[in-house]
Structures are given as C-alpha cells and as structure tokens.
Amino acid sequence: MSTAADSIVKDMSLAPGGHLKIDWVKAHMPVLNRIRERFEAEKPFAGLKVAISLHLEAKTAYLAKVIQAGGAEVTITGSNPLSTQDDVCAALVEDGICVFAKYNPSPEEYKSHLIKTLETRPDLIIDDGGDLVTILHSERRDLLAQVRGGAEETTTGILRLKALEKEGKLEFPMMAVNDAYCKYLFDNRYGTGQSVWDGINRTTNLVVAGKTVVVTGYGWCGKGVAMRAKGLGAKVIVTEIDAIKAVEAYMDGFEVMPMSEAAKHGDYFVTVTGNRDVIRKEHFEVMKDGAILSNAGHFDVEVNKVELEALSTAKRVVRKDIEEYTLAGGRKLYLLAEGRLVNLAAGDGHPAEIMDMTFALQAVGLEYINKNYQSIGKQVLNMPYELDEMVARYKLEALGISIDKLTAEQKDYLDSWVES
Ligand SMILES: NC(=O)c1ccc[n+]([C@@H]2O[C@H](COP(=O)([O-])OP(=O)(O)OC[C@H]3O[C@@H](n4cnc5c(N)ncnc54)[C@H](O)[C@@H]3O)[C@@H](O)[C@H]2O)c1
C-alpha cells in the first residue's frame, strides 16, 4: 500500500504556493463543490483505491481531493512531463494524497511514476490520453485483476480505448468522459480556444493581430483555437483532411487549404489533430523566417521534431519554452514547449470554470462505473445523458440562470407524430 509518505515530488517546501492555487480554483468550481458535498456525505468510494493520471495542476488536484472526499485512497501522477506543477504536487501530499510526479522528469522517470501509481493496485482509474490503460494492458497485466473500471479524459485516450475494444482486448469498462456534451462543447472548444492563446501569448509576448495563424484540425479544439485567433485579430487559415469539417471551417469564415500551401503563409501554427506528423519536413522547408510552431494535441508527435532537428544547423533556447531552430540558409523557426500541449506545458491549462464541468463529469462518471461495472461489461461507455444534463443544470444554477420548461401541450406535441 502506498501512502502520501511514499510520494515522490520535487520539493515539499513549495506546498504553501500549491495550496493557494488549489484554493483559487476551488472558489471557481461550484459544480464540483456541489458534488464534493454529496460525496462527503455518501462516501461512494469508501475503502477503494483510485489511481489518477492527469495534467497535474491545481484543477486536477482539486478533483483528486473530491475523489478523496468520497472516501477513496488516491494516488496521482502526471499525464505529460511538462504540465506537472511541483507546488501543487507538494500541497497534495500535505493533504494526504500519494503523488508520483515532478515537472520535467526524464522519460524513464516519467514512466516509472506511471508504474508506481499502478503498483498501488487501484480499484478505479482516471486516465488522460490512455497511459495507465496502455501499461495495464501490455507490460503490467499483473496489475489488471483488481481494476473495476475507470474514466478517460481526452479524445486521444478514447481513440486508444476504442482500438483496444475493437480488438476484444479491453479488460474493464471505461467511461468516455470526452464524448459527453458538457466536456467537448466547452472544454475542447472554449477551454482549448482560450488557454492555447494564453499559453502562446505569455510565452512569446508577441502580437497576434494582423498575423496569419494556421490551425491544423477543425475538430472541437481546433474550432476554439481558430475562433479565438480571429478574435485576437489574426487572419486564420484552417487545414483539414475531413471534407465536412473543411466546409464547416469555410462557412465559419476561415480560409481552407492544404498544409503544403498554408505552410508558406503562417506566422503562427497550432496543430490540434490527435494525429502525427501533420507538420513535417516538406512544410518546414517552405515556412517563413520567424514562424512560431505550437501544438495543442495530446502527444508531442504532431510537429515532427526529428525532421525539424535534422534540417537545422543550430538550436538554442531563446526564452522559457521557446526553442529556436536555425535552418540551412539562415531561416529561423521557433517551437514552443517542445511541441507538447502548449496550453498546459507553457500555461496553466483551461480556465477553472471550464474544468469545473469536465471534472464534475469525471467524478460522477467514476461513481457510475463503480456502481455498475459488473453489468456494464468490458466496453467504452458513453456518459449517461442524465449525468451530462445534471452537470449542465448545476452549471446554470451556479450561474443564476434559469430556463423554460415544456408545457404539457408542448410535450404532447413533440411526442406525437400526428400533425395538429
Ligand atoms: N490542449 C488541450 O488542453 C486539449 C483539450 C482537449 C483535447 N485535446 C487533444 O487535442 C486533440 C484534438 O482533439 P479534438 O477533440 O479537437 O478532436 P476531434 O476529433 O474533434 O478533431 C480532430 C480533427 O483533426 C483532423 N485531422 C486529423 N488528421 C489531420 C491532418 N493530418 N491534417 C489536418 N487535420 C487533421 C480531423 O479530421 C478532425 O477534424 C486530441 O489529441 C485531444 O486529445 C487537447
């Protein structure tokens, strides 16, 4: 059994700063606060161990505390080497949560933290990008037996889970939190939209107005990133591989073209596809001097760093989270946060009010899996509509907004197939 005393964190003296950060987000997460109150009374996770891998900053820390308030023994690790905040980790240890995480660990250390988290033999897991699930289904199958199920945060993790399910290899039920309305409509679109620009702007301290921004991928995240780039005064180009999304981007007022063309025009590039190598050698070769490259997709594979490095004659860090690559001929390209999610690796991630809904879904989704795992079977499960709707209702109540109700006549009218 691991306890908070077994934790591996950078520096416990950072804890006071971490507590302040957690207090700040807590004050802006009314939906999660309401769920916490119920969990404190009902203890849905009493006697259970929960392992969490999420971007380890203040909002996630508060989710871990809510799960703990529900009676669980919680162990947490990061889901990206650059998004862990050391002060938040120290604060969680003081609050009795076992933490295996540090900012910028070596790849080996990062992996060892994931494994240590699983070696606590959890009953339930919360994953972000599928790292815990992947380890459990490959090299550490010995730790599978006790896992009842879990919840997955993001698009990329759900793709990995669905691939496992399709091959008939998924060993426990997982809730697809990302696919809930109250997740992707707000977190992916408005959360990513705002926080990507926050990350880019605080890192570069350069103007966006008048520049050309290339957004690669017009999914839920890409829509937000493009919308906010437009709001900042940029000319926005979208690249896509999906004809329907491409038409949508066009109708939303953006220029649409292939990356081979867009690469020549962009001052800023933001990849957010969940795919690999969407910006690669042939694109670097035609980019403008000074172009700024960033990624908001889950893994750091969207901008091909190996090919960028191979084309470069020199590389240096010119500012925190900015690497300058000098190409043959003297052109310079700038890569933010090593191509990792720019909003988390070079910022604080999504606003607290957004993560309030996402993490409320995580909490009630995990509770649902725990109650029903035996009947659900080994599948990727969509969030039950009642839970999704409940989170939206709590959010409206917290905002002091009320909405209309159907009259009996309206309900009959909608339920009837006879014209009246
Ligand atoms: N940065 C964050 O905080 C954050 C938040 C949520 C999700 N994500 C991650 O962002 C990524 C995208 O998530 P989403 O919810 O927008 O997914 P999505 O499936 O809604 O959209 C992805 C889009 O990328 C397009 N695409 C795929 N390959 C492409 C290519 N080669 N060129 C151009 N377009 C291509 C797809 O057609 C699709 O429209 C995922 O990796 C997800 O895990 C990041």
**pLDDT beyond 90 at 419:** no
- Asked whether 360 and 35 are in contact (CB, 8 A), the reply is yes
Q: Which residue's alpha carbon is nearest to atom 39 within ligand 1?
A: 219
pTM attached to this predicted model = 0.92
Ligand 1 contacts CB of residue 154 (under 6 A): yes
Kindly state the percentage of the chain with pLDDT values over 90.
Answer: 97
- Asked whether 305 and 339 are in contact (CB, 8 A), the reply is yes
**pLDDT beyond 90 at 43:** yes
Which whole number is the average pLDDT over 347-376?
96
- Asked whether 125 and 143 are in contact (CB, 8 A), the reply is no
**pLDDT beyond 90 at 53:** yes
**pLDDT beyond 80 at 258:** yes
Helix (H, G, I), strand (E, B) or coil at 341: strand
Which phi and psi angles does 380 have, rounded to 5°?
A: -90, 120
Strand 312-319 with 322-327, pairing: antiparallel
Ligand 1 contacts CB of residue 351 (under 6 A): no
Q: How far is the CA of 332 from the centre of ligand 1 (A)?
A: 27
* pLDDT band at residue 4 using 50, 70 and 90 as cut-offs: confident
- What is the 3-class SS of 215-274, one letter each residue? EECCCHHHHHHHHHHHHCCCEEEEECCCHHHHHHHHHCCCEECCHHHHCCCCCEEEECCC
Return the residue matching tokens 């896509």. 240
Which whole number is the average pLDDT over 56-73?
97
Q: How far is the CA of 12 from the centre of ligand 1 (A)?
A: 36
Ligand 1 contacts CB of residue 271 (under 6 A): no
Residue among 95, 144, 100 at smallest CA distance from 121 = 144
Query: Token digits for 130?
Result: 């599928």
Where does 93-200 show beta strands of DSSP type E?
98-100, 124-127, 149-152, 174-176
Look at residue 38 in the predicted model and tell me its pLDDT: 98
Ligand 1 contacts CB of residue 272 (under 6 A): yes
pLDDT digits (tens, 9 = 90+) for 267-303: 999 999 999 999 999 999 999 999 999 999 999 999 9
Ligand 1 contacts CB of residue 217 (under 6 A): yes
Residue among 262, 338, 254, 264 at smallest CA distance from 304 = 338
Look at residue 222 in the predicted model and tell me its pLDDT: 98
**pLDDT beyond 80 at 372:** yes
Rounded to the nearest integer, the mean pLDDT of the chain is 96
- Asked whether 323 and 338 are in contact (CB, 8 A), the reply is yes
Which whole number is the average pLDDT over 145-149?
96
- From its phi and psi, is residue 102 left (phi > 0), alpha (psi between -120 and 50) or beta? beta
For the ranges 1-15, 89-103, 136-150, 193-207, which has the lowest average pLDDT? Answer: 1-15
Q: Which residue's alpha carbon is nearest to atom 40 within ligand 1?
A: 274
Ligand 1 contacts CB of residue 190 (under 6 A): no
Query: Token digits for 172?
Result: 């426990």
**pLDDT beyond 80 at 420:** no
Ligand 1 contacts CB of residue 224 (under 6 A): no
CA distance 174 to 161: 8
Kindly state the percentage of the chain with pLDDT values over 70.
Answer: 99
Look at residue 5 in the predicted model and tell me its pLDDT: 83
Which whole number is the average pLDDT over 7-14?
97
Greatest Cα pair distance in the chain: 74
Exposure class string for 162-185: b at 16+ Cβ within 10 A, else e: eebbeeeebebbbbbbbbbebbbe
Chain centre distance of CA 20: 22
CA distance 43 to 392: 23
Q: How far is the CA of 297 from the centre of ligand 1 (A)?
A: 6
* Best residue for ligand 1 mutational test, from 57, 59, 188 (most atoms within 8 Å of Cβ): 188
Ligand 1 contacts CB of residue 241 (under 6 A): yes
Which whole number is the average pLDDT over 170-198?
97
Q: How far is the CA of 109 from the centre of ligand 1 (A)?
A: 28
Look at residue 418 in the predicted model and tell me its pLDDT: 83
Q: Which residue's alpha carbon is nearest to atom 20 within ligand 1?
A: 219
Look at residue 3 in the predicted model and tell me its pLDDT: 81
Atom number of ligand 1 nearest to Cα 196: 1
Specify the amino acid at residue 115: I
Look at residue 63 in the predicted model and tell me its pLDDT: 98
**pLDDT beyond 80 at 24:** yes
Look at residue 1 in the predicted model and tell me its pLDDT: 58
Look at residue 386 in the predicted model and tell me its pLDDT: 98
Q: Which residue's alpha carbon is nearest to atom 37 within ligand 1?
A: 242
